[in-house]
Amino acid sequence: MKTQVCIIGGGPAGLLLSQLLHGKDIDNIVLEKHTRDYVLARIRAGVLERGFAKLMHEAGCGDRLDREGEVHEGVSIAHDKGLTRIDLFKGSGGSTVIVYGQTEVTRDLYEAREKMGGVVIHEAADVALHDLKSDAPYVTYVKDGKAERVDCEFVVGADGFHGISRKSIPADVLREYERVYPFGWLGVLSETKPVSHELIYSGNERGFALCSLRSQVLSRYYIQVPLEDKVDDWSDEAFWEELKRRLPPDVGVRMQTGPSIEKSIAPLRSYIAEPMQYGRLFLAGDAAHIFPPTGAKGLNSAASDVHYLYHGLVDHYRKGDDKGLESYSQKALARVWKAQRFSWSMTMMLHRFPAYTPYERKLQKTELEYLISSERAQQAFAENYVGLPY
Ligand code: RFL
Ligand code: PHB
């Protein structure tokens, strides 16, 4: 097979880029390791920045997001004195976020790809990248036991943190920056009315908690748990009990509980790989960076990568102008580092760190105290939470 751009990974980053490029008549193929059902079964992000929604529209996939996505103008921070609402709209000078699940984003993108006749090859095994430093790179994979080859002009690595693309960059070229946190998030999805119509992030003595939602009949809650904990250690009852204890009492008593329809533990990590380009290979999304979910920046940063890469590729094919591609890594990383800073600071402020000294704990509490008492601090929070411009 021959194509212009071979995209590795059919997650949101790969599918969105594929859809955008196809809209500009740039031929591309997506190679995805898993089945479509497997990809759609992953429960992940819930909060989208405006920039993400704009890209979905540009890709012709924004209608359902407009209809079903909930616009949020604020979030609350719970602390030992109660709740403080941060006005995102006012603080950011008129922006908001949209609550719409990653599962729905991916579903919309798959449907759009199908409608346009886009090529997404599922269950592509043993994907390997070749001749990335040449003008004629190619990708090999195995499908139904048969060896296949895609000749292309560019390769995009959108295959997530555990993918093969980043690993195709020689170790002496790749620089990695990482922080692993000593806890994870236990997440529960339940068909109950959300305890609050806006998100509540809680920095509690017992540990972090988050009340989020997918709709007014579907709640998504998280609590910080030790890394050693297993999902089976947490019955639904134990989860609800602990969640309520980490919220102000008047919020806890309002909590509607019910059976979990999904329950999983995700470890927390901050990670960036530099550069995001190696020859004809460009990395995008989780393949290049991981955010702790505290600031809701993972999927949103995948979208800003896609934006820069999309424009770089369009300029290359339309105008023969390579400036966008040449500056891709530097531009994408500049925004990614700012989002890293924000999600790191929010993670550090709201979680309990077992090894903290009393001094560090005091400082951490002071960080939270400053945020809830300063309008200017809340403005800075709002500007970052809704997403920096790109
Ligand atoms: P994905 O979604 O991991 O997709 C990569 C795809 O590549 C495939 N793949 C391969 N394909 C071919 N060959 C190989 N060798 C391959 N190896 C892997 C995989 O099967 C997969 O389909 O990466 P992408 O597209 O970059 O998207 C990134 C987002 O998924 C991620 O950043 C977010 O989910 C992070 N995240 C959040 N981000 C937000 O912006 N807002 C949020 O509210 C938010 N909440 C979250 C989150 C992540 C969470 N978890 C579970 C880590 C909440 C949680 C709990
Ligand atoms: C979610 O709804 O899954 C969610 C929301 C906000 C976050 C992380 C996850 O910061």
Q: Is the pLDDT of residue 53 over 90?
A: yes
Could you list the active site residues?
Answer: 72, 201, 293, 297, 385
Closest CA to 271 of 297, 236, 306: 297
Complete DSSP assignment for 62-116: -HHHHHHPEEE-EEEEEETTEEEEEEHHHHTTS--EEE--HHHHHHHHHHHHHHT
* pLDDT for the residue 45: 83
Kindly give the distance from the C-alpha atom of residue 78 to the centroid of ligand 2, in angstroms, as a whole number.
15
Give percent of the chain with pLDDT exceeding 90.
98
Provide the pLDDT for residue 100.
95
Cross-strand pairs, 371: none
Q: Residue 201 C-alpha to ligand 2 middle, in angstroms?
A: 9
Task: Give the pLDDT confidence score for residue 181 in this predicted structure.
Answer: 97
Q: pLDDT tens for residues 162-221? A: 999 999 999 999 999 999 999 999 999 999 999 999 999 999 999 999 999 999 999 999
pLDDT tens digits, one per residue of 124-154: 999 999 999 999 999 999 999 999 999 999 9
Query: What domains are defined for the chain?
Result: 5-70+98-178+269-347 (3.50.50.60), 182-268+352-386 (3.30.9.10)
Q: Give the C-alpha separation, 228 to 319, whole Å.
A: 53
Q: What angle do helix axes 102-115 and 12-23 make, rounded to 10 degrees?
A: 30
Closest C-alpha among 273, 285, 272 to residue 18: 285
In this predicted structure, what is the pLDDT of residue 384? 98
- Can you name the residues that pair with 125 across neighbouring β-strands? 142
Q: Dump pLDDT digits (tens) for 55-99.
A: 999 999 999 999 999 999 999 999 999 999 999 999 999 999 999
Query: Phi/psi at 292 (nearest 5 deg)?
Result: -65, 140
Around ligand 2, the residues with Cβ closer than 6 Å are: 45-47, 199, 212, 220, 293-296
Contact 272, 335 (CB under 8 A): no
Task: Map tokens 């984003």 to a residue.
Answer: 105
pLDDT over 70 percentage in the chain: 100
For 366, half-sphere exposure in the C-beta direction (CA atoms, 13 angstrom radius) is: 6
Write the CA distances from 170 to 132, 150, 174, 201, 276, integer angstroms. 11, 22, 6, 40, 13
Phi-psi region of 9 (alpha: psi -120 to 50; beta: other; left: phi over 0): left
Q: Is the CB of 158 under 6 A from ligand 1?
A: yes
The DSSP 8-state label assigned to residue 69 in this structure reads P
CB of residue 12 inside a 6 A radius of ligand 1: yes
Residue 144, helix vs strand vs coil: coil
Q: Which atom of ligand 1 is nearest to the CA of 222?
A: 55
* Alpha carbon of 45 to ligand 2 centroid (Å): 6
Q: How far apart are CA 100 and CA 170, in angstroms?
A: 37
CA 322 centroid distance within chain: 28
List, for residues 356-388, the tens digit of each pLDDT value.
999 999 999 999 999 999 999 999 999 999 999
pLDDT of 325: 98
Q: Does ligand 1 have an atom closer than 6 angstroms to the CB of 109?
A: no
Is 246 in a helix, a strand, or coil? coil
Is there a contact between 205 and 167 (Cβ–Cβ < 8 Å)? no
Measured CA to CA in angstroms, residue 225 lies from 39, 188, 229 at distances of 26, 13, 7
Residue 207 CB-half CA count within 13 A: 16
State yes or no: pLDDT of 44 exceeds 90.
no
Mean predicted lDDT score pLDDT of the chain: 97
- pLDDT reported for residue 42: 84
| Cβ 287 vs Cβ 176: under 8 Å | no
Q: How far is the CA of 182 from the centre of ligand 2 (A)?
A: 19
Distance CA 386, CA 345 (A): 15
Q: Cα 326 from chain centroid? A: 25
Q: Whole-structure pTM over 0.95, yes or no?
A: yes
Q: Which among 202, 222, 240, 126 is positioned nearest to 368, based on CA atoms?
A: 202
- Asked if pLDDT for residue 41 goes beyond 90, the answer is no
Position in ligand 2 atom list of the atom nearest CA 201? 10
245: Cα separation from own chain's centroid:
28
CB 160 near ligand 1, within 6 Å:
yes
